[in-house]
Structure 1
Amino acid sequence: MLGRSRNHSGVWQTTLAAGAAWAMLSMHAHAADVLPGAYTALPADKNVFQLFYTHTERNKQYVDGHSRPIAARVDSDIFQLRYHHFMEMGGYIVNPNIIIPYGQLEGKRDLSAFGKSEGLGDVVLNATIWLHNDPKARTYFGITPYLFLPTGEYDNKERLNLGENRWKFALQGGYTTAISDNILFDLTGDVTVYGKNNDFGAASAKLEQDESYQVQTYLRYKFSPSFEANIGLSHVWGGETEINGVKQRNELRTTKYLVGAAYFFRPTTQLLALFSRDTAVENGLKESGKLVVRFTQVF
């Protein structure tokens, strides 16, 4: 339940300096990733505290669907604190919440010149409104706007940054339903709109980016009321960038699979783990492995 982890997109350049600046943005992946059961609503007046840990390893760099002949490696370790409050507004359940990320990025092997960055990431404000909320049938449909604030650590002279130095807005819709007593289905789709970064790279260039899109889906199997396993797929496309008005021909087209499990130690305390891996990348760094661990406490 209640899981979204955020992330962004990147650009590629033919020179080392511009390529490093591209990698700076690619660390955050995609703006509105969700975890299984994210669109399951809770009753009004419930509060939720969540702690996320995400470790990601990227071991290949792709341009136009082809792997570059370098030993690429960029690792990241990100922690996120998230607080939700569920309330009723106009007959609908709404959960305004805030996400505060902190972590580090490090270039390795042939990308060791990228160095290491540590600090605060871009804070995210969002709220889901459930337009359909039927706990008895276990069927839900909600809409979520996200606002990404340019609060993260950013230095245009550095090759890796936790922040993007730009505003972003994403709009997502999510649907969850029970297929049978033990099987549930999740489907989400979103679009992300990017603001400008007027201090991009060492030359303080202007970075602009087209809208990007994402579709995600999960099947969840409940072995018991407290334990479930899941499998999922995600596909991202769009998001071509411009630097000082020059199109970079680096449109995203990334597909990945996800597999994980979640367990309620008690009715209000859950631990979730999810592993994912990119299977196809058109442009950007390929995630060879990503592990998300999330602790949830409802009160």
Structure 2
Amino acid sequence: MKNTLLKPALLSLGLSCAAVSPLTQAAQVATDPGDYSPLPAGIDLGILYLQSFDNDEFYVNGQQVENGPTLSADIGLLRWVHYIEVGGFIVDPQVILPFGQLKLNAGGAEVEASGIGDPILGATIWLYNNPDTKQAFGVTGLVSLPLGSYDTEKGPVNLGENRTKFITQAAFVTPITEQFSVHLIGEYTFFGDNDDFGASGITREQDDQYGYQVHLNYHISDTTTASVNYYHDFGAESEVAGVDQQDELNNNRWQFTVQHFVQPDLQVQVQYGRSISVENGFFENDRINLRFVKVF
């Protein structure tokens, strides 16, 4: 497998994490097309993600705030995935390490942060995997550990979040025709408390977040896939020092993805996307993502 071409049913090359700051108010782990098509036991993936965006529109209760804050970010993620078989099921233990920089401008004041984000550990187990029909059902559990760069005086403008997060997903993969397939993913996240939020060390709490993601994929060839992606997120209202922030999510966005194997063991992915509607938080005008996957 190390030197042979991966078939379309095996384009399962890693999850794409959303930006690591709570400012982004997006899916905690935004999946990529093909993430939930399992690879054979013994395969390893080394993955580099590069994400860049500039958000200059901020919404509260569905209304754009005039002269509101702006946010720009350049985020990278390093990820290692190893596929094993346990009791007849494919499982992929993995570790994700975010890094990068954020810049928030609000009311003429600029706050910047850079460094390492909170590492994420976990795995997916495929409870159903039929190579003949190319259908699969997988369940993922991930934990984000509060070990990243964090400055209490910068509040939400940090690469680390100073809290634990538990992220779960369930996904179903099925072909529609010989060339088209659809991937359906649901996500649920539980947040721990940040008890050192802001200069005065107050507590930030957050309600559970949930959402769904859809990928419609067109397999152009054994080496190339094009996809249209949709993400919708709900919940996650926060409370700071006991005061509700009224920032509950009902946000969605679209994305277009092209994946191509430039070599049998090296895949390049390019993505472009933007928000559709935002109830609370930043409207993404343009998002560009790159991903490089090395198969071992």
TM-score, length of structure 2 as denominator length: 0.92
* Cα pair 1:147 1:167 within 8 Å, conserved: yes
Find the partner of 1:197 among 189, 194, 198: 194
Q: Which amino acid letter does the alignment assign opposite residue 282 of structure 1?
A: E
How far did 1:111 drift? 5.4
Aligned to 2:149: 153
* Cα pair 2:25 2:249 within 8 Å, conserved: no
Q: Deviations over 1:172-203 (max 9, x none)?
A: 00111111111011110010000000011112
* Cα pair 1:150 1:163 within 8 Å, conserved: yes
Whole-Å Cα distance in 2 between the matches of residues 191 and 297 of structure 1? 29
1:74-113 equivalences in 2 (<5 Å): 74-108=71-105, 110=106, 113=109
Aligned to 2:277: 280
Q: Does 1:223 align with 2:234?
A: no
SS of match in other structure, 2:109: helix
Whole-Å Cα distance in 1 between the matches of residues 191 and 207 of structure 2? 7
Aligned to 2:47: 50
Q: Deviations over 1:26-70 (max 9, x none)?
A: 137321210111101011111111011011211111111111111
Question: Which ranges in structure 1 are unaligned for 5 or more consecutive residues?
Answer: 10-23
1:1-299 equivalences in 2 (<5 Å): 1-7=12-18, 25-27=22-24, 29-70=26-67, 72-108=69-105, 110=106, 113-158=109-154, 160-299=157-296
TM-score, length of structure 1 as denominator length: 0.91
How far did 1:7 drift? 3.1
Q: Closer, same or farther in 2 for the Cα pair 1:59/1:241, shift >3 Å? A: same
Q: Which amino acid letter does the alignment assign opposite residue 94 of structure 1?
A: V
Superposed structure 1 runs of 4+ greater than 2 Å apart: 5-9, 27-30
How far did 1:92 drift? 0.3
Q: Closer, same or farther in 2 for the Cα pair 1:111/1:216, shift >3 Å? A: farther
When the two chains are superposed, the root-mean-square deviation of aligned CA atoms in Å is: 1.6
Question: Which ranges in structure 2 are unaligned for 5 or more consecutive residues?
Answer: 1-11
SS of match in other structure, 2:35: coil
How far did 1:85 drift? 0.7
SS of match in other structure, 1:26: helix
Work out the number of aligned pairs and report it: 284
Whole-Å Cα distance in 2 between the matches of residues 29 and 4 of structure 1? 15
